[in-house]
């Protein structure tokens, strides 16, 4: 299957990412935001990292 993320349009959609303040979760947040989604970020205790992620999204 050929997948091209550039052809995805997630405007008006909501993505919920758990563990979104670092690592793979943070990369997912950035990707969903670039594709136009409204992103909800859930994290356990790393508020500083979560704030940085929000700034990138």
Q: What is the pLDDT of residue 7?
A: 76
- Confidence (pLDDT) at 4: 64
Number of structural domains found in the chain = 1
**pLDDT tens for each residue of the chain, 57 residues long:** 455 666 789 999 999 999 887 889 989 999 999 999 999 988 767 678 777 777 766
Question: Domain limits at 22?
Answer: 14-56
User: What distances in angstroms separate CA 44 from CA 15, 17, 39, one per listed residue?
Assistant: 18, 12, 17
Residue 9 lies in a domain: no
48 within some domain: yes
pLDDT at 1: 41
Tell me which residue of 49, 53, 51, 18 sits closest to 33, measured CA to CA.
Answer: 53
State how far the Cα of 20 lies from the Cα of 1, in Å rounded to an integer: 28
Whether 6 and 30 have beta carbons less than 8 Å apart is answered as no
């Amino acid at each position: 299957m050929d997948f091209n993320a550039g052809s995805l349009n997630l405007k008006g959609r909501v993505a919920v990412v758990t563990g979104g303040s670092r690592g793979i979760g943070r990369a997912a947040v950035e990707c969903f935001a670039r594709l136009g989604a409204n992103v909800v970020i859930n994290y356990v205790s790393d508020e500083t990292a979560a704030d940085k992620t929000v700034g990138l999204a």
